[in-house]
Copies of this chain bind each other. A is one copy, B any other.
Amino acid sequence: MDGKAVVAISDRNRCNNRPMKTETSLVLPALDPAAVPSRTTSIYPTEELRALTVGRSKQALGDALGLQTFGVNLVRLEPGAMSALRHWHTRQDEFVYVLEGEIALVTEAGEQCLRSGQCAGFPAGKADGHHLVNRGNGVAVYLEVGDRLPGDRAHYSDADLEARATRGGYGFFHKDGMPY
């Protein structure tokens, strides 16, 4: 450990110096999400399916921090946007925590409204398709966490779609097993 580097970090951004937030520049293992690129793309296999995710953007915080065993995304939904098509995972546990706005959580049982500071969790293997929809007029922001156990599949409740985890990411299939 280089003594000079220690001083540099300590001087720049100690809590008790209280610099303006815009003046701080975090270094790993700390991270300001503002420094993480945002993606609006979808991995769904058809243009029609990808169109359903318009208005959704994700920042991969976990990847930016070098985490491997689980992913953490900061997700922003514009009014009318959805998290994903309604689905459930066979191996992956999922967690969401609402940071801003209101989000409708849709499951087989109906809808519930998650507000800032509320959360939801989807244990692997529970066959209850879920997704989040921003039905409000303002932006909604949430954190999503999912593990990366091998062999996961996602079953989609309202589409002829199944996702299967591979080393390179998810591959998509019709429900009869035919690949897209």
Contacts and interface: CB of A to CB of B under 8 A. Distances in A.
A65 B121 contact: yes
A6 B104 CA distance: 14
A119 B24 contact: no
A30 B112 contact: yes
Contact of A13 (B64, B99, B113): B113
A31 B72 contact: no
Number of copies: 2
A46 interface: no
Give the interface SS of chain A, mostly helix, strand, loop or mixed.
mixed
Interface in A82-133: 92-93, 95, 97, 99, 102-105, 107-115, 117-124, 126, 128, 130
Contacts of A15: 102-104, 111, 113, 135-136
